[in-house]
Amino acid sequence: MIHVLGIDTSCDDSCVAIINDEHKILSNVVSSQTEFHRHFGGIVPEVASRKHLEYLPSVLDQALKDAHLTLRDVDLVTVTQGPGLLGSLLLGMCLAKTIALVGDKPLLGVNHLEGHLFAIRLEYPEIQPPFVALIVSGGHTEIIAVEDWGKYYLLGSTRDDAAGEAYDKISKFLNLGYPGGPIIDHLSEGAQSNRFHFSAGLEDDGTLDFSFSGLKTAVVRCYSRLGEEEKKDKELIRDLVASFQESAVRVLVNKTFRALEMKGFSQIVVGGGVAANRHLRRKMKEEGEKRGVRVFFPSLSLCTDNGAMIAACGLFHWKKGERDSWDMEPDPRLPLVSTE
C-alpha cells in the first residue's frame, strides 16, 4: 500500500493530508487562519506565511496521528507548487522538501487548480473524463474542458475578480464579516433574491469568460445609496446579498452549461471554495436534472483548500513516472498545462 502525503499552503489555510493509492483519505487536517485575517477583513499575505510557519508542524503531527502512521510510512511527498501567495507556498514547499530529503522520498509539485479538479476523484473514483469543470474559488473562476486526466483546455476565466473574491469584498464593504462566501450563503437562504436586479458582466457576450468586478461595484453602490435606517434593516440586507448571489450563480451556471453544449460532453464537475455554496449546488443540480446531465460536487470539506486533493493529483502524476527535483521553486502564477 502506497501512502501519499499532500501539503497545501497556497493561501491562508495550512493543510496536510494522507491518502493511500486507492484514494482513501486516511487523514485530512486543515488549520484555518480565519480568526487572524478576520480583523483585517481579508487575507494579509505576511500574516498568512507567519501563521503557516507556526501551524504546519502541529498540522503535520495531527495528520500522521489521525492516519496512525509515522513519517517513515510515507512513500510520496506532494505539495502545491502554485498558483498562490508566494510566501505561503514557500513554507509548504520547505516542509515538503525537508520531509522528502530527510526520508529520501520522491517529491512532486502539484498545480493547485489541478488539485481542485482531483478532489472529485477522492469521492467518486469511478468518474471518467471527459467532463467540463468549473473551478470557482477566492482566486479562480475557470471553465476547463477535461478531455482526460492530465489533458486540459481552458475555455474561459475571469477577466477581473474571482467569484469568491466578489463574495468576500461585498461582505467586507457591508460589514458582514470574513470570509464573505459562507456568510452571504447563510444570509441568503430564504431571502428574496429578486428584490434587487443585478447582472454580472459578460453575461450574454457569447464568450465563456466572467467578470465580477462590475457586479461587486453595483452591489456596493446600491448599499451606499441606502438610508441609515435601511442599512440597519436586516431583511433588506439579506435580500440585497441574495440578489447579488442570484446573479453570480446565474452566470456561473449558464456559462458552464454553455461550455458543456459546445464540447458535447455529458458531465460537469464543480470544485473550489465557492462550490460549497448551497445556491450554486442547487441550481447546478436542477439544471443538470432538466438536461439529463450528471453534475458532481465534492463534499464541503473537499471543496475548500485541503491536502487530500493535492495528494490525489500528485499520485496520478507519480504513477505516470513524473518526479520533481530539490531545486523546484514555488510559482505564484503557475499555469494549468496538459501533461498528456
Q: List contacts with ligand KG4 (CB under 6 A).
A: 11, 137-139, 164, 167-168, 179-182, 185, 272-274, 276-277, 304-305
* Region class of 211: left (phi > 0), else alpha (psi between -120 and 50), else beta: beta
> Which residues have CB under 8 Å from 257's CB, separation 6+?
268, 287, 291, 293
Q: Residues 176 to 195: which contact Zn ion by CB under 5 A?
A: none
Smallest gap from Cβ 264 to ligand KG4, in A, equals: 29
How is residue 256 annotated by DSSP?
H
Closest to Zn ion by CB, 165 or 305? 305
Closest to Zn ion by CB, 220 or 300? 300
Smallest gap from Cβ 137 to Zn ion, in A, equals: 4
Closest to Zn ion by CB, 8 or 239? 8
Q: How far apart are CA 148 and CA 128, in angstroms?
A: 8
Q: Give me 271's grid cell.
A: 470544485
In the list ligand KG4, Zn ion, none, the entry touching 138 (Cβ below 5 to 8 angstroms by class) is: ligand KG4
Smallest gap from Cβ 236 to ligand KG4, in A, equals: 21
In the list Zn ion, ligand KG4, none, the entry touching 276 (Cβ below 5 to 8 angstroms by class) is: ligand KG4
Count other Cβ atoms within 10 Å, centred on residue 1. 9
Q: How far apart are CA 64 and CA 275, in angstroms?
A: 28
Name the 3-class secondary structure at 211. strand
Contact 219, 161 (CB under 8 A): no
Smallest gap from Cβ 8 to ligand KG4, in A, equals: 9
How is residue 107 annotated by DSSP?
E
Closest to ligand KG4 by CB, 100 or 113? 113
109-148 footprint of Zn ion as x/- string (CB under 5 A): ----------------------------x-----------
Smallest gap from Cβ 120 to ligand KG4, in A, equals: 14
Q: Residues 263 to 322: which contact Zn ion by CB under 5 A?
A: 305
Smallest gap from Cβ 9 to ligand KG4, in A, equals: 11
Closest to Zn ion by CB, 117 or 191? 117
Using alpha carbons only, how large is the chain's radius of gyration in Å?
20
Q: How far apart are CA 194 and CA 228, in angstroms?
A: 22
What is the separation of C-alpha 66 from the centre of its chain, rounded to a whole number of angstroms?
A: 24
Smallest gap from Cβ 90 to ligand KG4, in A, equals: 17
User: Helix/strand/coil (H, E, C) string of 117-172?
Assistant: HHHHHHHCCCCCCCEEEEEECCCCEEEEEEEECCEEEEEEEECCCCHHHHHHHHHH
Closest to ligand KG4 by CB, 142 or 209? 142
Closest to Zn ion by CB, 12 or 305? 305
Which spans of this chain sit near Zn ion (rule: CB under 5 A)? 137, 305
